[in-house]
């Protein structure tokens, strides 16, 4: 299954604090609503408020480091990851086990601010394209959610999944443009036929 690691990297205003009993809590925003991201110069993208409403509570979402599935540190199914939407975006809160080697590796970096960005991986369920400007704008209205990740660098700086997702998005855009052009021609043909009758 293909999914997209979107360039929606936000500074964590993350709180990283010890809860006692070896538990570390991390909180922050994995996505911010109504802010445009440049997706490799090919198109712009924004996430509409409510885009994750259906996914929250439905999708089993994991908290990862750099979208690496081998670094599961929390997940919604176990109750160690909580997701919620507010006016600002997709808020996450995770209870991490300080004895987990992955957590031990990244926690000091998060505390120091060396790891201060987040991202999310998703599949668009409902989207809208606006081709009226020089650079198309894609608005995600509904998405399934696969992971939220603390990340070091944006996905579109050459990561494999970013390039694959970008190619898929461009293919979808070309198909959308083709279908729209075809529909316009059919409507024009129907109108001409109606006028000529």
Give pTM, 2 decimals: 0.71
Q: For residue 107, what pLDDT is reported?
A: 87
H or E element in which residue 174 lies: helix 160-196
Query: In the chain, what's the furthest Cα-to-Cα distance?
Result: 81
Q: Is 40 within 8 Å of 156 (Cβ atoms)?
A: yes
Residue 180: HSE in the Cβ half-sphere, 13 Å Cα cutoff = 10
Percent of the chain with pLDDT over 70: 67
**111-133 residue pLDDT tens:** 888 887 888 899 999 999 999 98
Mean pLDDT score of the chain, rounded to an integer?
77
Q: Is 166 within 8 Å of 156 (Cβ atoms)?
A: yes
Position 41 pLDDT exceeds 90:
no
Q: Is 25 within 8 Å of 19 (Cβ atoms)?
A: yes
| CA–CA distance, 75 with 178 (Å, rounded to integer) | 40
First-last CA distance in the chain: 50
Greater confidence, 183 or 69? 69
CA 47 to chain centre: 8
C-alpha distances out from residue 150 to 109, 124, 138, 167, 194, Å: 11, 21, 24, 24, 58
């Amino acid at each position: 299954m293909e999914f997209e690691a979107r360039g929606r990297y936000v500074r964590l205003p993350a709180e990283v604090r010890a809860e006692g009993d070896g538990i570390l809590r991390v909180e922050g925003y994995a996505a911010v609503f109504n802010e445009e991201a440049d997706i490799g110069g090919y198109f712009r993208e924004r996430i509409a408020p409510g885009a994750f409403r259906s996914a929250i509570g439905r999708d089993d979402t994991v908290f990862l480091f750099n979208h690496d599935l081998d670094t599961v540190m929390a997940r919604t199914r176990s109750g160690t990851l909580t997701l919620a939407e507010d006016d600002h975006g997709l808020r996450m809160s995770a209870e991490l086990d300080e004895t987990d080697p992955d957590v031990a590796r990244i926690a000091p970096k998060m505390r120091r601010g060396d790891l201060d960005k987040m991202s999310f991986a998703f599949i668009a369920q409902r989207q809208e394209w606006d081709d009226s400007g020089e650079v198309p704008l894609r608005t995600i209205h509904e998405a399934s959610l696969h992971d939220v990740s603390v990340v070091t660098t944006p996905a579109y700086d050459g990561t494999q999944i970013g390039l694959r997702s970008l190619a898929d998005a461009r293919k979808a855009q070309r198909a959308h443009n083709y279908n729209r052009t075809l529909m316009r021609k059919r409507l024009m043909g129907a109108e001409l036929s109606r006028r000529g009758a």
